[in-house]
Structure 1
Amino acid sequence: MFKVISLWYNRMFSDPEAVAMALVFVIGFVMLYFFGNLLAPLLIALVLAYLLDWPVSFLASHGFRRGIATSLVLLVFFLIATFIVLRVLPTVWGQGMNLLTEYPVMLNSSQRWLESLPERYPEFIDGALVQTVVDNVRTRLMGVGEQLLQSSVSSIINLATVMVYSVLVPLMVFFMLSDKQVLMRSVTRFLPNDRRLLAQVWMEMNGQVINYIRGKAIEILVVGGVSYIVFALMDLRYSALLSVLVGLSVLIPFIGAFAVTLPVAMVGLFQWGVSPQFGYLILGYGIIQLLDGNVLVPILFSEAVNLHPLAIIVAVLVFGGLWGFWGVFFAIPLATLVKAVMNAWPHAEKAEVDQPSS
């Protein structure tokens, strides 16, 4: 047993650079796991810095000083963010509160419709089975409603934290963008001198993370905007709230689209019942999801993600369980990072092959 472990250790850690790379990633994992809440403003600032780096670099390459370019980009970004907070967010919040108020009524209406199915189609549907399903779904949905209400109350209580973030995050983003090269050199001072493998992984991951964050932002805006247009044209109630949910659902691959289908279908069923209008809603929503998965995602992420769908789902479950929202948001980049490390990791067999024969 010890011989097997020793052989495995010699094969995997025969290269000192591999040991250094493993140490760097272990320290990073420990810091994120135990101090993730404290580092949340830094993570938000990093995401925004990755998102805004392209326009800043574009202006800097056309004669603007990087500090001025950063100021201009941040000014435009925060004007847009202020518009969203003052105009869009109150509408979404009001619709969310109204939906929570009507939530029990929708559940009762859906329950009555499901319970009527065995009477209409007794040869196809078992009444006891329908009742069991209704009870389970009702229990789970009521639990979701209570969690949403608790989250709303806790978000009001944590308003002070949001105010602190609104000051700290813009400052960190500004310095990350304006002093990018200085900060990069400062960080490399704390890395091992032999960091060829780390540089290889960084070069592979940096472009993919930039493409992923930028692509996700575009995907959220496009999917959410198109959903709002479709819902508004159909005069669907809570169209702003539902379009925001549909847009944010793209953060969770596969699972998000399935989860957000329930509130869309539930609101449509409560508003129109089983009718052609409800069918048009489901058809339009399905077309949006198909275009997103088969057209928009390949265009935006053709160079960023080359992972098996099972690996993506496992990454969402694992990293989401470890770090919540940020784990879900970075699940694909983190899975890609794991893949890049596995590809770059030296093996004893590879080292023997690379050595010249005497």
Structure 2
Amino acid sequence: MAATDRQVPEVGLSEEAARRIDLWWATVMVGALGLVFALLAVFGGVAVPVLLALAGAYIFNPMVTALEKRGMDRTWGTTLVFTGGTLLLVGAVLYLVPVFRDEALKLPDFFRRASTQVVPKVEALLGTSLPELVRQRTTELGEQATQLVQSAGPAAARILASFAGNTARFVATLLGLAVVPVLAFFFLQDYPLLLGKMKDLLPRRSVALVGKRFAEVDEVLSAFVRGQLTVGAVLSVIYAIGLSVGRIDMAIVIGVIAGFGNMVPYLGTGVGILLSLVGLMLSWQGPWQLGVVAGTFIVGQMLEGFVITPRIVGEKVGLAPMAVIIAILAFGELFGFVGILLAVPVAAILKVVLRVVIQRYQRTNLYTGDARAP
């Protein structure tokens, strides 16, 4: 923002009043994020289903709103979107579960061949022997993968039995899973009403400015929640198709990992290329495969940069790659898997909060050195 823009006060508010409202808003936002993590830690069984339902309502609200603008009643629009989403989800599960089951059955042989074939090829390529520790670890990885797949069924049965043995926890888990779509439906149906009631609670003088700040948060969050999930899904399909054309082992699994891993800068592409090279060594049929693998990732990245993001998704989340990586590491260390899932959305919200605080600071006489500044 230019220096001249920073000196323009909000319409209808003095600079001092606007600054006070913004600082209160920033404090409330940080406190609300802290409350969310506290609730997850203390009442995870209740908080997780509610958060999942709210996330679903937030994701699908633009579709229902678009139908409502076309004259459809919101209840019918919610029902239509909900039914369509449910059918798509069921169809995807019915298709993907057998596919991933077949891919999982290949894992033991994949790791076993990787430990016995890839290491010698790497040694021949480098012209030197790898340390014995590397050879030993790759062999152990293949054996452990075999044992893991063989024990997956009994392990799942034991987990189910342990839940069933603890009747209260088993019932709570089932209720938690069952209540998510119900809550999501009603949150989605009443989304404008809920927002309206929250807006009615705001002090009248601060409605416009606070509404503007929440619009900024919504812009950043929607770029991540809707945008990055869309990018991950499209890239997964592109990578899976390309690697399948190249007859690479575990093409679908590698494609999904590389596609959705793209949410973490460099991680998805790096891991995808590494796994593809391992699969390439195990299924070598000629130099053409190397060209297909390289072309798949090059085309995927070019489409992501020039077509998917600008034309389909719009602006990205707006966080620097290093900030995303640090947020994931920090929140993962503090809050575990839930922290990893919430790291980037929370970091995006905090970015808006920090930007607002900095803007207000840059309008003070402490920053400008102007005694006349408010």
Instruction: State if a TM-score over 0.5 links the two structures.
Output: yes
- What's the CA shift string for 1:265-324, capped at 9, x where partnerless? 212211117x41441243133214422552233445543433333223222322333444
Aligned match of 1:291? 302
What is the aligned counterpart of 1:31 among 23, 36, 40?
A: 36
Q: Who is 1:138 aligned against?
A: 138
Alignment correspondent of 2:233: 221
Q: Quick one: distance in 2 between partners of 1:150 and 1:49?
A: 39
Quote the Cα distance in structure 2 between the aligned partners of 1:227 and 1:54.
28
Go from structure 1 to structure 2 and tell me whether the alpha carbon gap of 1:17 and 1:244 turns closer, same or farther (over 3 Å shift): closer
Give me the CA root mean square deviation. Answer: 3.8
Residue of structure 2 equivalent to 1:207 = 219
CA distance in 1, matches of 2:60, 2:91: 18
One-letter amino acid of the counterpart of residue 337, structure 1: I
Q: Which amino acid aligns with 2:193?
A: V
Stretch of structure 1 that moved more, 332-341 or 54-63: 332-341
Corresponding residue for residue 22 of structure 1? 27
1:76 aligns with 2:88: no
Residue pair 2:249, 2:282 contacting (<8 A) in 1 also: no
Distance 2:151 2:363 in 1: 52
The 3-state SS of whatever aligns with 2:249 is coil
Kept after mapping to 2: 8 A contact 1:59/1:69? yes
Distance 1:298 1:63, change over 3 A: closer
2:183 to 172, 186, 203: 172
Structure 1 residues 284, 47: closer, same or farther in 2, change over 3 A? farther
Pairing of 1:1-358 with structure 2 (within 5 A): 15=20, 18-19=23-24, 21-33=26-38, 35=40, 37-38=44-45, 39-117=47-125, 121=127, 126-127=128-129, 130-131=130-131, 134-135=134-135, 138=138, 145=145, 157=159, 164-187=175-198, 198-272=210-284, 275-295=286-306, 296-300=308-312, 302-345=314-357, 350-352=363-365
Q: Tell me the CA shift for residue 70 of structure 1.
A: 0.3
The alpha-carbon distance between structure 1 residues 15 and 148, as it changes in their structure 2 partners (threshold 3 A), is farther
TM-score normalized by the length of structure 2: 0.74
Residues in 2 aligned to 1:151 and 1:174: alpha-carbon distance in whole angstroms: 38
Question: How far apart, in 2, do the equivalents of 1:206 and 1:143 lie?
Answer: 48
Residue type matched to 1:87 in 2?
Y
Tell me how far 1:72 sits from its aligned partner.
0.5
How many positions carry a matched residue from both structures?
A: 336
Provide the C-alpha distance between the structure 1 equivalents of 2:371 and 2:82, rounded to a whole number of angstroms. 51
| CA deviation after TM superposition for structure 1 residue 217, in Å | 2.8
Change in CA separation of 1:149 and 1:288 when aligned onto 2, cut-off 3 Å: farther
CA distance in 1 between counterparts of 2:217 and 2:143 reads 39
Give the Å deviation of 1:83.
0.6
Unaligned runs of 5+ in 2: 1-18, 164-169
- CA deviation vs aligned residue, 1:171-213 (integer Å, no higher than 9, x gap): 1211111001222244457778886665443120112212322
The answer to which structure, 1 or 2, has the higher relative contact order (CA under 8 A, 6+ apart) is 1
Contact conserved, 1:49 with 1:173, CA < 8 A, in 2? yes
Deviation at 1:137, TM superposition (A): 6.5
Unaligned stretches of 5+ in structure 1?
A: 1-13
TM-score, normalization: structure 1? 0.77
When structure 1 is superposed on structure 2, of 206-215 and 109-118 the one drifting more is 109-118
